Amino acid sequence: MSGAPPTPSPSQAPVGVDPTRPSIARIYDGFLGGKDHYEVDRAVMRKISEAVPEAVDIAKGNRGFLNRACRFLAAQSKIEQYLDCGSGLPTAENTHQIVQRSNPDARVIYMDNDPVVLAHGRALLEENENVHMAEADIFNPPAVLQHEIVRKHLDFTEPMVLLHVGTLHHFEGDGGPAVMQEYIDALAPGSYVVFSHFYDPQVPELTALAKKIENILVHGPMGAGRFRTEDEILAMLPGLDIVKPNATTEPGLVVCDEWWPDGPRLTPISTAGHCIAGIVARKP
Q: Which residues bind ligand SAM (CB under 6 A)?
A: 11-12, 24-25, 28, 62-63, 66, 86-88, 112-114, 117, 137-139, 165-167, 170
Report the alpha-carbon distance of residue 24 to residue 102 in Å, rounded: 30
Q: How far apart are the first and last CA of the chain?
A: 31
Q: Yes or no: say if 137 and 113 are a contact pair by the CB < 8 Å rule.
A: yes
CB 284 to ligand SAM: min, Å: 25
CB 85 to ligand SAM: min, Å: 7
55-172-187-283 Cα dihedral, nearest 10 degrees: 60
CB 158 to ligand SAM: min, Å: 23
Q: Which is nearer to ligand SAM, 114 or 214 (CB)?
A: 114
CB 120 to ligand SAM: min, Å: 10
CB 174 to ligand SAM: min, Å: 17
Q: Which is nearer to ligand SAM, 243 or 256 (CB)?
A: 256
Q: Which is nearer to ligand SAM, 106 or 117 (CB)?
A: 117
| DSSP-H helix ranges across 34-187 | 39-51, 56-76, 95-102, 115-125, 141-145, 148-153, 176-186
Parallel, antiparallel or unpaired: strands 241-242 and 276-282: antiparallel
Q: Which is nearer to ligand SAM, 112 or 257 (CB)?
A: 112
Q: How far is CA 93 from CA 55, 65, 67, in A?
A: 21, 12, 7
Report the alpha-carbon distance of residue 21 to residue 18 in Å, rounded: 6
Q: State the DSSP code for 113.
A: -
Report the alpha-carbon distance of residue 107 to residue 102 in Å, rounded: 12
Q: Which is nearer to ligand SAM, 14 or 53 (CB)?
A: 14
Q: Which is nearer to ligand SAM, 34 or 245 (CB)?
A: 34
CB 27 to ligand SAM: min, Å: 8
